């Protein structure tokens, strides 16, 4: 198959839904072998099946990014099936908003565990495989505008995404001697299933001003992103076009916070 990532084997966590599913489909359309790694194995299976129907190569694996053992298994199953790993997307993430003064340690730790520790584990396990393959490899992390500016209705989420940005920079510095690049992108507001629960939770908190409609009203380009708006940047970061870029976060937010 031809395409900008033809023949590359690419793992995408959180690929069963939203941004991850769109990225997985977009990479497959550009010729990649795509591994869909998600806690929700039925959702990952469905996306894998749609890729296969479109003529792409795909594999669904159940992964909990907070459980290193399952991440290692995903690496092993990918290598079994496709021979190697070329690119690894740490995209799985979640949110659970609380008013700032009510945030509990449990809430903070749960969000940090998935969004930040999960990214650390993903970078480490991908990099170990890249190093064992002797050179090259790309890691791409899903950050957020919430990692660039703190939102009071979901402060732990903002902190976790700031951690993703810091981990991207630290890993880029550590892994450059192995020829591995580490980058990320920071979406603004993307119309995905994540917002269904988030909007309901924010409304129940009396924080509708942090909800989808309110956040979207200030975007310079006049609309929220669709998951497909993320795909060209994801393909660019996975392709050789981005070989001289590392440690960077690309904002994809339609003109929102502008930092």
The region that residue 14 occupies, defined by phi over 0 for left and psi between -120 and 50 for alpha, beta otherwise, is: left
State in angstroms the smallest separation of the CB of 147 from ligand NAD: 9
User: Strand, helix or coil at 243?
Assistant: coil
Quick check: 88 and 139 in contact, CB under 8 A? Answer: yes
User: Strand, helix or coil at 139?
Assistant: strand
Our CB check for ligand NAD shows the closer of 5 and 114 to be 114
Residue that the structure tokens 């001289």 belong to: 244
As given in the structure block, the two tokens for residue 53 are 């129907």
Our CB check for ligand NAD shows the closer of 107 and 133 to be 107
State in angstroms the smallest separation of the CB of 105 from ligand NAD: 19
State in angstroms the smallest separation of the CB of 95 from ligand NAD: 6
Q: Interface with ligand NAD by CB under 6 A: which residues?
A: 13-14, 16-20, 38-40, 43, 63-66, 91-94, 114, 118, 142, 144, 187, 189-190, 192-195
Computed on alpha carbons and rounded to an integer, the radius of gyration of the chain in Å comes to 17
Which is the catalytic residue, given 157, 195, 212, 236? 157
Q: What is the 3-state secondary structure (H, E, C) of 173-205?
A: HHHHHHCCEEEEEEECCECCCHHHHHHHHHHHH
244 catalytic per annotation: no
State in angstroms the smallest separation of the CB of 195 from ligand NAD: 6
Our CB check for ligand NAD shows the closer of 1 and 117 to be 117
Our CB check for ligand NAD shows the closer of 226 and 240 to be 226
Quick check: 123 and 51 in contact, CB under 8 A? Answer: no
Catalytic residue numbers read: 157
């Amino acid at each position: 198959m031809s395409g900008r990532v033809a023949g590359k084997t690419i793992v995408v966590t959180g690929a069963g839904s939203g941004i991850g599913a769109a990225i997985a489909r977009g990479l497959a359309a550009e010729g990649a072998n795509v591994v869909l790694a998600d806690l929700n194995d039925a959702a990952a299976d469905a996306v894998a099946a749609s890729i296969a129907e479109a003529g792409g190569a795909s594999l669904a694996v159940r992964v909990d990014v907070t459980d290193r053992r399952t991440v290692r298994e995903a690496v092993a199953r990918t290598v079994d099936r496709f021979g190697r790993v070329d690119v690894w997307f740490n995209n799985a993430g979640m949110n659970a908003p609380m008013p700032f003064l009510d945030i509990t340690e449990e809430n903070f730790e749960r969000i940090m565990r998935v969004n930040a520790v999960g990214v650390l584990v993903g970078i480490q396990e991908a990099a170990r495989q890249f190093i064992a393959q002797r050179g090259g490899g790309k890691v791409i992390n899903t950050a957020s505008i919430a990692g660039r500016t703190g939102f009071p209705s979901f402060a732990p989420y903002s902190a976790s995404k700031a951690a993703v940005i810091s981990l991207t920079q630290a890993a880029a510095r550590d892994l450059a001697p192995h020829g591995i690049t580490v980058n990320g992108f920071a979406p603004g507001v993307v119309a995905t299933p994540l917002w269904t629960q988030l909007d309901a939770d924010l409304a129940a908190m009396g924080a509708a001003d942090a909800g989808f409609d309110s956040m979207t009203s200030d975007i310079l380009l006049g609309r929220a992103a669709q998951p497909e708006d993320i795909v060209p940047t994801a393909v660019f970061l996975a392709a050789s076009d981005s070989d001289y870029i590392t440690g960077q976060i690309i904002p994809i937010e339609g003109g929102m916070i502008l930092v």
